[in-house]
């Protein structure tokens, strides 16, 4: 399908002008009442139509009897009532509803609900709408000012999310927000009786707001379609997949070598190799990698390979060098010329001037961070890295430096970045020991850095995994679209 | 040759898998080299058969009752003459594990030139459809599970990356003083099996699992020496 058509098709979901809510009570305490309050607080200004069998008004809004009775057609219906009554409600919509999201559970996720889910899907078709869910939590779309979460960034961002788990969807928004992620949308898709992760991946690939796609998938019923869509996309946008649950197929019943060898998640490894999508194992890694793609611009023409580590902490540098090497990122010593140029700076003793560059606080704070700028200038100009990881052990600064030193260091790095545009990915690692005062300072600093478009990580391993993902994406595009 | 007919015939006979000869005929239909063969019903046919084949040959039992031919004593390799082949057939017919089985005949097959043993496999995933697999033969597959999978159809680049991904990949380049084997020949087989319009894509609805084991790869060519296709 061409991009324009896909975008048009999903516009009522991501920017609904009319929202119907089924399940809100006159007492105002049910989940759908909370949903009404949340979207109003989130700035939703379109029409809201509560649907109720008898009430005239709900939460100060005129209520309607059925989905077919609303003054204007419904772009998005949020439905949270007991499972058994929903199919009839959908069938009665008579083409008046574009998207219905069924929050309720009691469908295909339990054996006794499997038939009801088939009925639900058939009713949605009969009612002329696309169905999302059932058994999910809702939709978060900053461009449409609709959200199912209590908090979430109001600004539109570049990260498009599809989650088969509702709870994890909430985690992604909340934890992601605190890490600086900004979203183009997040849809919890639950049991996927109709709309699947593949459908939404197709939308996010086409959507000009979305630059990176994240998916939490438990089962891909239409795995074949997902494969075809992602293969066709040829790494057009990075796709990060957090896969929960592993396929059981094959292992026990396998009658051949091939069958017995395929019983784990090898198919997902295959998917990632063939489509360039990045497989991650944990929620934190998911967020780390999404953050990298939100802030860094991939450079497929020169896939990331050589990394320079610069900061305070000798042991940390050594451990990180090992870890990065295991990920396929080189922290290789500088050539003679670069070492010579750094030596000419006559840095204080204790400063290591090969890569990794280990500079104690005493060095970093010299001349309000201007020494760091000179070091970085040589690193960029002569060392020519493809990524620079600046790591600051914040506890080492406490009591020894003025608070501006951290600022100065980052500003110095940004100035150098601008002198060498497009040369190296710049990543910041702010290490802390968990002291509340330090954590607070780190939070503030993270926000500042985030506003400048710098991805901030807690530890070197997180930064390493994120850079390795960027490298994998760059390499894929490099080989597939020469 | 009508490749669909091979599968239809096997189904008609109620078989859950293609026998070795049908499997190889299917592969040959997709351009994968297989050894030249002849089928005899007993030792009496050997002389005539060997007029068309080059020695040394292999003799294999053909029986729907025997799934693991080697274990049953139903495979004899490196037979240099008609006399040796006849003796092998007589010995098989008399062996305890074969005596009671239904015997369709004996397959006489030219020996493949020496080379590296490779396994190429296929599998239908419930969600993703046909997958293709490659690994190095012997302990690499059986003990170390050193294999790589891709979703069909694969491109030439996918096939090359499948080989690069194997831990045993250096062996293909000729580790420990051995000669390098033809990567291109393996890639070609992978494409014929798992590529666009390849065997697994064309028969995705009928083939549940496939094993080409071994595929023997020399410096210049690859030959499928045994093949099993499980239907369903």
Per-residue pLDDT 10s for chain A (482 aa) are 689 999 999 999 999 999 999 999 999 889 999 999 999 999 999 999 999 999 999 999 999 999 999 999 999 999 999 999 999 999 999 999 999 999 999 999 888 999 999 999 999 999 999 999 999 999 999 999 999 999 999 999 999 999 999 999 999 999 999 999 999 999 999 999 999 999 999 999 999 999 999 999 988 889 999 999 999 999 999 999 998 875 455 344 444 555 555 545 789 999 999 999 999 999 999 999 999 999 999 999 999 999 999 999 889 999 999 999 999 999 999 999 999 999 999 988 888 999 999 988 888 888 877 888 999 999 999 988 999 999 999 888 777 767 678 788 888 888 888 899 889 999 999 999 999 988 988 888 888 888 888 999 999 999 999 999 999 999 999 999 76
Name every chain B residue with its beta carbon within 8 A of the beta carbon of A248.
none
SS (H, E, C) chain B: CCHHHHHHHHHHCCCCEECHHHHHHHHHHCCCCCCCEEEECCHHHHHHHHCCCCCCEEEEEECCCCCCCCCCCCEEEEECCHHHHHHHHHHHHHCHHHHCCCCCEEEEEECCCCCEEEEEEEEEECCCEEEEEEEECCHHHHCCCCEEEEECCECHHHHHHHHHHCCCHHHHCCCCCCCCCCHHHHHHHHHHHHECCCHHHHCCCCEEEEEEEEEEECCCCEEECCEEEEEC
Q: Specify whether A162 is located in the same domain as A69.
A: no
In a domain, residue A140? The reply is no
> Which residue does chain A place closest to B124, by CA atoms?
A259
Q: Specify whether A204 is located in the same domain as A282.
A: yes
The reply to whether A248 touches chain B by the CB within 8 Å rule is: no
- Which of A224, A259, A479 lies nearest to residue B123, judging by beta carbons? A259
Q: Specify whether A376 is located in the same domain as A457.
A: yes
The reply to whether A266 touches chain B by the CB within 8 Å rule is: yes
Q: Specify whether A289 is located in the same domain as A370.
A: no
Q: Specify whether A82 is located in the same domain as A168.
A: no
**ipTM over 0.85 threshold:** yes
The parent domain of residue A241 ranges over: 156-295
At residue A74's C-alpha, the angle toward residues A70 and A79, to 5°, is 95
CB pairs under 8 A between A and B: 83
Q: Which residues of A427-437 are buried (b: 16+ CB within 10 A; e: fewer)?
A: bbbbbbeeeee
Shortest Cα distance, chain B CAs vs residue A64, angstroms: 41
In a domain, residue A137? The reply is no
Report CA-CA distances (Å) from B86 to A311, B35, B74, B90, B104. 78, 20, 13, 6, 17
Q: Specify whether A382 is located in the same domain as A473.
A: yes
**CB-CB under 8 Å, B135 with A224:** no
Domain containing residue A128: CATH number: 3.40.50.720
Q: Specify whether A414 is located in the same domain as A364.
A: yes
- Which of A220, A269, A479 lies nearest to residue B157, judging by beta carbons? A479
Q: What is the pLDDT of residue A447?
A: 86
Q: Specify whether A446 is located in the same domain as A325.
A: yes
**CB-CB under 8 Å, B165 with A222:** no
Domain containing residue A221: CATH number: 3.40.50.261
| Interface residue ranges in chain B relative to chain A, Cβ cutoff 8 Å | 17, 119, 121-123, 125-129, 131, 133, 135, 141-142, 145, 147-151, 154, 157-158, 161, 165, 209-211, 213, 228, 230
In a domain, residue A461? The reply is yes
Last residue of a domain, one of A247, A274, A295: A295
Alpha-carbon distance of A67 to A73, in angstroms, equals 9
In a domain, residue A273? The reply is yes
Last residue of a domain, one of A241, A273, A295: A295
How many other CB atoms are found less than 10 A from the CB of residue A326? 10
In a domain, residue A118? The reply is yes
In a domain, residue A101? The reply is yes
- Give which of A226, A221, A224 is closest to A247, Cα–Cα: A221
- Give which of A403, A414, A398 is closest to A449, Cα–Cα: A414
Q: Specify whether A457 is located in the same domain as A355.
A: yes
- Domains of chain B as residue ranges with CATH: 8-17+114-231 (3.30.470.20), 36-110 (3.30.1490.20)
Name every chain B residue with its beta carbon within 8 A of the beta carbon of A249.
125-126
**CB-CB under 8 Å, A258 with B123:** yes
In a domain, residue A420? The reply is yes
In a domain, residue A146? The reply is no
- Is the pLDDT at B163 greater than 60, yes or no? yes
Give the number of domains in chain A: 3
Q: Specify whether A332 is located in the same domain as A476.
A: yes
Name every chain B residue with its beta carbon within 8 A of the beta carbon of A274.
150-151, 154, 158
The reply to whether A45 touches chain B by the CB within 8 Å rule is: no
The reply to whether A482 touches chain B by the CB within 8 Å rule is: no
**CB-CB under 8 Å, B211 with A273:** no
Mutate to test the interface with A, among B17, B67, B120, B151 (most CBs of A within 10 A): B151
Q: What are phi and psi of A440, to 5 degrees?
A: -65, -45
Q: What are phi and psi of B181, to 5 degrees?
A: -105, 165
**CB-CB under 8 Å, B135 with A219:** no
Q: Specify whether A242 is located in the same domain as A277.
A: yes
Last residue of a domain, one of A295, A323, A356: A295
Q: Specify whether A286 is located in the same domain as A178.
A: yes
Q: What is the pLDDT of residue A255?
A: 46
């Amino acid at each position: 399908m061409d991009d324009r058509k896909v975008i048009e098709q999903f516009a009522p979901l991501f920017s609904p002008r009319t929202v119907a809510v089924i399940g809100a009570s006159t007492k105002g305490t049910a989940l759908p009442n909370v949903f009404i309050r949340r979207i109003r607080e989130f700035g939703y200004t379109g029409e809201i139509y509560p649907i109720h069998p008898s009430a005239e008004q709900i939460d100060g809004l005129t209520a309607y009897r059925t989905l077919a009775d609303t003054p204007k057609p419904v772009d998005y219906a949020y439905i949270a009532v007991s499972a058994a009554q929903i199919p009839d409600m959908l069938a009665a919509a008579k083409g008046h509803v574009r998207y219905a999201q069924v929050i309720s559970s009691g469908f295909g996720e339990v054996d006794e609900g499997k038939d009801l889910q088939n009925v639900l899907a058939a009713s949605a078709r009969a009612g002329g709408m696309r169905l999302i869910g059932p058994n999910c939590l809702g939709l978060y779309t900053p461009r449409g000012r609709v959200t199912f979460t209590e908090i979430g960034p109001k600004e539109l961002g570049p990260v498009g999310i599809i989650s088969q788990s509702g709870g994890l969807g909430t985690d992604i928004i909340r934890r992601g927000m605190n890490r600086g992620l900004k979203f183009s949308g997040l849809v919890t898709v639950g049991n996927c009786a109709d709309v699947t992760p593949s459908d939404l991946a197709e939308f996010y690939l086409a959507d000009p707001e979305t630059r990176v796609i994240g998916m939490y998938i438990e089962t891909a019923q239409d795995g074949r379609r997902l494969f075809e869509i992602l293969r066709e996309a040829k790494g057009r946008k990075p796709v990060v997949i957090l896969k929960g649950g592993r396929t059981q197929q094959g292992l026990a019943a396998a009658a051949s070598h091939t069958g017995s060898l395929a019983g784990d998640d090898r198919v997902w490894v295959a998917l990632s190799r063939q489509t360039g999508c990045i497989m991650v194992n944990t929620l934190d890694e998911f967020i780390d990698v999404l953050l990298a793609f939100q802030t860094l611009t991939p450079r497929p023409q020169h896939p990331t390979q050589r990394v320079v580590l610069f900061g305070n902490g000798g042991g940390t540098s050594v451990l990180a060098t090992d870890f990065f090497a295991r990920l396929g990122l080189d922290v290789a010593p500088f050539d003679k010329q670069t070492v010579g140029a750094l030596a000419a700076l006559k840095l204080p003793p204790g400063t290591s001037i090969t890569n990794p560059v280990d500079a104690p606080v005493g060095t970093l704070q010299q001349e309000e961070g201007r020494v760091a700028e000179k070091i970085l200038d040589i690193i960029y100009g002569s060392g020519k890295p493809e990524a620079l990881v600046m790591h600051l052990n914040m506890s080492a600064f406490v009591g020894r430096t003025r608070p501006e030193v951290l600022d100065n260091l980052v500003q110095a790095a940004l100035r150098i970045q601008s002198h060498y545009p497009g040369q190296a990915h710049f990543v910041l690692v702010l290490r802390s020991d968990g002291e509340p005062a330090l954590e607070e300072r780190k939070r503030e600093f993270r926000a500042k850095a985030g506003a400048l478009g710098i991805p901030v990580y807690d530890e070197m391993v997180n930064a390493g995994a994120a850079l390795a993902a960027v490298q994998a994406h760059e390499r894929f595009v490099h080989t597939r679209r020469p | 040759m009508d490749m669909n007919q091979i599968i239809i015939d096997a189904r008609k006979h109620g078989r859950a898998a293609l026998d070795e000869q049908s499997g190889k005929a299917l592969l040959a239909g997709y351009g994968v080299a297989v050894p030249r063969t002849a089928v005899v019903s007993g030792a009496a046919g050997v002389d005539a058969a060997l007029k068309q084949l080059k020695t040394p040959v292999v003799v294999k039992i053909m029986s729907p009752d025997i799934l693991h031919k080697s274990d049953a004593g139903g495979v004899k390799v490196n037979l240099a003459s008609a006399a040796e082949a006849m003796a092998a057939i007589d010995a098989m017919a008399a062996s305890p594990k074969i005596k009671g089985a239904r015997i369709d005949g004996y397959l006489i097959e030219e020996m493949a030139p020496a080379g590296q043993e490779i396994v190429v496999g296929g599998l239908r995933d419930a969600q993703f459809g046909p997958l293709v697999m490659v690994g190095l033969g012997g302990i690499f597959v059986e003990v170390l599970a050193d294999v790589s999978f891709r979703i069909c159809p694969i491109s030439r680049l996918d096939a090359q990356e499948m080989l690069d991904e194997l831990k045993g990949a250096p062996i293909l380049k000729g580790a420990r003083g051995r000669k390098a084997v033809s990567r291109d020949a393996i890639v070609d087989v992978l494409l014929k099996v798992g590529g666009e319009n390849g065997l697994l894509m064309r028969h995705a609805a009928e083939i549940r699992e496939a094993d080409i084991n071994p595929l023997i790869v020399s410096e210049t060519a690859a030959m499928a020496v045994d093949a099993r296709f499980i239907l369903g």
